[in-house]
């Protein structure tokens, strides 16, 4: 067969598109990506036939065509955002999406998001409602506050709080609490952005009640307390306790705001962890507005939650920034479900992943580590050594600084292996695995790994170490 005849035998794109598998792919992914990949494949075929005009090449190509196109379309359409295995042991890993969400809440979310919903619709009155109404009562019930709302994240909540409560006046803050909360966002910047005047009192290591007292003038709009949740000041230090600050505020009639950072709703010391101030304690002490993150120790969706006295929360709700920072319906729904899980602490600790991971005992993690190590040993190629070691990992996400959780990790090593390169390969597959490397060994920390992931992890690691 000559070249021209061979070229004439190449089917037209329209004809190929009507083949059942490809028609199905078009239905599923749309015409453009499928046809694009098909055209590209035909171009390559023409090039090949031009160089080597053999009929076998054409028939072989046509036989394999559907599979090749389908594979390419599928990988082209695979989302960039995907599930990864977190084997670092860091529970609130900001780069890995911080808090993993409770499966119970996700199932519910699917139902809630499919069609329309009563996001801002009051069903009993048949008119406009408020998007916070679905979880406001719950937040008040859980924290003891009079009113509540939520915005996109806690950085936004802090800015809104200072803007609305400070109201362009002077805001007094201790020099020991001028923290950076990450992403170049700093407390002094927030105060400056709010349009209030920043009045710094005390020194880096010591601030006394008199420092606040002396700074209060006619121009004072509010006092700001910031929980230094992402670092720890030790040594010759002094700061003003929340109670004292609230007493001073009460005496002078000036509101107190507090940025709690990783707001917890349960007493962590009950679980052998270091005590973090709870939101309830801030409210009980008399703080007027408290803001905290939804996706740190709370274990919910990314959000900035504001709770406090009715008067001040009402001001926050009315502030123009609120519209620019408002949460979407997924967040509102997820917040409601996660908060409702806190009605029973035992249930929350069991079913909210951040809490269940944090409170899992080292003994249990050791058993899991041994079970993973056993599977690795059984499946790994020749020359791979597997072990179980003690580890200590931070909680992450700027929560509980200095607090290390005792855990166990499985180590995997191989003579001559470049551990960093192997770790990079583990990140590149269809199921990326993020590991730590220590002394040329790969570390799989059980604090953040799920047993359901073990099979897939063993398969991926086996493949990578074989190659
Ligand atoms: C983490 C943190 C924030 C920022 O919270 P995001 O939810 O990450 O925006 C603000 N203030 C403090 C004290 C924090 O620890």
Residue nearest to atom 1 of ligand 1 (CA): 261
Report DSSP state, residue 326: B
Give percent above pLDDT 90 in the chain: 88
- Is the confidence at residue 182, as pLDDT, over 80? no
Question: Which amino acid residue places its CA nearest to atom 12 of ligand 1?
Answer: 261
Given a cut of 80, whether residue 233 has pLDDT beyond it is: no
Express each pLDDT in 412-430 by its tens digit. Answer: 999 999 999 999 999 998 8
Query: Is the pLDDT assigned to residue 467 strictly greater than 80?
Result: no
19 CA distance to ligand 1 centroid (A)? 54
Whether the pLDDT of residue 20 is over 70: the answer is yes
For residue 195, report the distance from its CA to the centre of ligand 1, in Å. 20
Supply the pLDDT for residue 146. 98
Query: Strand, coil or helix: what is 390?
Result: strand
Q: What would the mean pLDDT of 96-108 be, rounded to a whole number?
A: 97
Whole-angstrom distance, CA of residue 233 vs CA of residue 204 = 9
Tell the residue nearest (CA) to atom 2 of ligand 1.
261
β-sheet bridge partners, residue 412? 386, 442
Q: Please name the residues in contact with 386: beta carbons below 8 A apart, sequence gap of 6 or more.
A: 373, 376, 377, 380, 410, 411, 412
> Which residue minimizes the CA distance to atom 11 of ligand 1?
261
Cα gap 257→287, rounded to integer Å: 6
Cβ 174 vs Cβ 206: under 8 Å? no
What is the tens place of the pLDDT at every residue in 237-280?
Answer: 888 889 999 999 999 999 999 999 988 999 999 999 988 899 99
Q: Report whether pLDDT(130) > 90.
A: yes
Q: For ligand 1, what atom is nearest to the CA of residue 399?
A: 15
How many residues can be counted in the chain?
467
- Any idea which residue has 């019930």 for tokens? 141
Give the separation between CA 347 and CA 353, rounded to whole angstroms.
11
* Nearest atom, ligand 1, residue 293 CA: 7
Taken in order 351, 355, 356, 357, is the CA torsion positive or negative?
positive
230: confidence class by pLDDT, cuts 50, 70, 90: low
pLDDT digits (tens, 9 = 90+) for 340-350: 999 999 999 99
The residue whose C-alpha atom lies closest to atom 7 belonging to ligand 1 is: 154
Q: Which residues line ligand 1 (CB under 6 A)?
A: 153-155, 158, 181, 226-227, 229-230, 259, 261-262, 293, 304, 398
- What is the pLDDT confidence band of residue 109, given thresholds at 50, 70 and 90? very high
Identify the helix (H) or strand (E) that includes residue 197.
Answer: strand 197-201
Question: What is the percentage of the chain residues whose pLDDT exceeds 70?
Answer: 99
Give the ligand 1 atom nearest the CA of 156. Answer: 9
Mutual orientation of helices 103-114 and 329-341 as an angle, nearest 10°?
A: 140
Beta partners for 122? 127
Which H or E element spans position 434?
strand 433-434
The residues with which 413 forms a beta bridge, in sequence order, are 385
User: How far, in Å, CA of 217 to CA of 147, rounded?
Assistant: 29
What integer is the mean pLDDT of 174-192? Answer: 89
Span 37-45, average pLDDT = 94
| DSSP assignment string, 117-176 | --TTEETTTTEE--TTHHHHHHHHHHH--SEEEEES-HHHHHHHHHHHHHTTSEEEEEGG
Residue 236: the pLDDT is: 82
Interior/surface letters 109-148, b for 16+ CB within 10 angstroms, e for the rest: beebeeeeeebeeeeeeeeebebbbbbbebbbebbebebb
Q: Which residues of 165-196 are buried (b: 16+ CB within 10 A; e: fewer)?
A: bbbebbbbbbebbbbebeeebebebbbeebeb
Closest residue by CA, ligand 1 atom 13: 261
The mean per-residue pLDDT over the stretch 92-120 comes to 96
Average the pLDDT over 363-377 and give the result: 97
- Pocket test of ligand 1: the residue of 98, 158, 264 to mutate, having most ligand atoms within 8 Å of its CB, is 158
Residue nearest to atom 8 of ligand 1 (CA): 154
Instruction: Give the pLDDT mean for 158-167.
Output: 98
Give alpha helix (H) positions in 228-344.
242-252, 279-285, 310-318, 320-324, 329-341
Nearest residue to 238 (alpha-carbon basis) of 280, 281, 209: 209
For residues 55-72, one letter each, b for 16 or more C-beta atoms within 10 angstroms of the residue's C-beta and e for the rest, the string is: eeebeebeeebbeebbeb
Candidate from 150, 178, 182 with most ligand 1 atoms within 8 A of CB, to mutate: 182
Put residue 255 in one of left, alpha, beta given phi > 0 → left and psi -120 to 50 → alpha.
Answer: beta
Q: How confident is the model at residue 403 (pLDDT cuts 50, 70, 90)?
A: confident
Q: Kindly give the distance from the C-alpha atom of residue 46 to the centroid of ligand 1, in angstroms, as a whole number.
A: 58
Task: Report in angstroms the alpha-carbon separations of 25 from 18, 45, 60, 111, 381.
Answer: 10, 21, 21, 26, 38
**Cα torsion for 57, 63, 67, 73, to the nearest 10°?**
60
Reference 313, options 195, 149, 153; nearest CA is 149
β 289-293/436-438 pair status = unpaired
Determine the distance separating the centroid of ligand 1 and the alpha carbon of 155, expressed in angstroms. 5
């Amino acid at each position: 067969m000559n070249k021209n005849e061979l070229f004439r035998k190449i089917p037209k794109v329209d004809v190929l598109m009507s083949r059942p598998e490809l028609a199905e792919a078009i239905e599923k992914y749309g015409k453009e990506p499928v046809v694009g990949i098909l055209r590209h494949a035909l171009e390559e075929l023409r090039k090949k036939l031009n160089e080597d005009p053999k009929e076998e090449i054409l028939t072989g190509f046509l036989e394999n065509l559907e599979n090749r196109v389908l594979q390419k379309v599928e990988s082209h359409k695979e989302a960039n955002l995907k599930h990864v295995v977190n084997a670092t042991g860091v529970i609130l890993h900001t780069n890995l999406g911080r808090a993993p969400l409770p499966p119970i809440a996700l199932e519910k979310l699917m139902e809630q998001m499919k069609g329309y919903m009563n996001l801002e619709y009051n069903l009993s009155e048949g008119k406009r409602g408020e998007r916070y109404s679905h979880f406001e009562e719950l937040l008040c019930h859980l924290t003891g506050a009079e009113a509540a709302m939520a915005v996109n994240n806690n950085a936004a909540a802090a800015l809104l709080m200072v803007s609305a409560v400070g109201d362009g006046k002077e805001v007094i803050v201790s020099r020991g609490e001028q923290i950076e909360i990450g992403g170049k966002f700093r407390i002094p910047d927030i105060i400056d952005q709010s349009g209030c005047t920043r009045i710094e009192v005390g020194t880096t290591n010591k601030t006394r009640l008199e420092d606040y007292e002396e700074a209060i003038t006619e121009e004072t709009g509010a006092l700001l307390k910031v929980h230094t949740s992402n670092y720890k000041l030790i040594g010759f230090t002094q700061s003003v306790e929340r109670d004292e600050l609230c007493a001073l505020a009460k005496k002078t009639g000036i509101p107190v705001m507090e940025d709690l950072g990783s707001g917890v709703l349960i007493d962590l010391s009950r679980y052998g962890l270091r005590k973090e101030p709870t939101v309830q304690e801030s409210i009980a002490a008399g703080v007027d507005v408290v803001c905290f993150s939804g996706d740190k120790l709370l274990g919910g969706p990314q959000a900035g939650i504001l709770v406090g006295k009715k008067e001040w929360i009402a001001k926050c709700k009315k502030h123009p920034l609120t519209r620019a920072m408002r949460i979407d319906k997924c967040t509102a729904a997820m917040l409601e479900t996660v908060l409702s899980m806190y009605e029973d602490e035992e249930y929350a600790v069991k079913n909210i992943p951040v809490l269940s991971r944090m409170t899992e005992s080292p003994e249990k993690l050791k058993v899991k580590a041994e079970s993973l190590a056993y599977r690795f040993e059984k499946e790994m190629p020749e020359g791979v050594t597997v072990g179980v070691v003690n580890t200590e990992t931070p909680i992450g996400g700027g929560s509980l600084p200095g607090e290390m959780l005792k855990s166990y990790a499985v180590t995997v090593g191989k003579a001559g292996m470049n551990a960093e390169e192997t770790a990079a390969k583990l990140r590149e597959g269809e199921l990326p695995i993020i590991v730590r490397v220590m002394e040329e060994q790969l570390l799989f920390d059980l604090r953040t790994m799920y047993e359901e992931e073990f099979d897939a992890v063993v398969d991926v690691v086996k493949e990578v170490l074989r190659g």
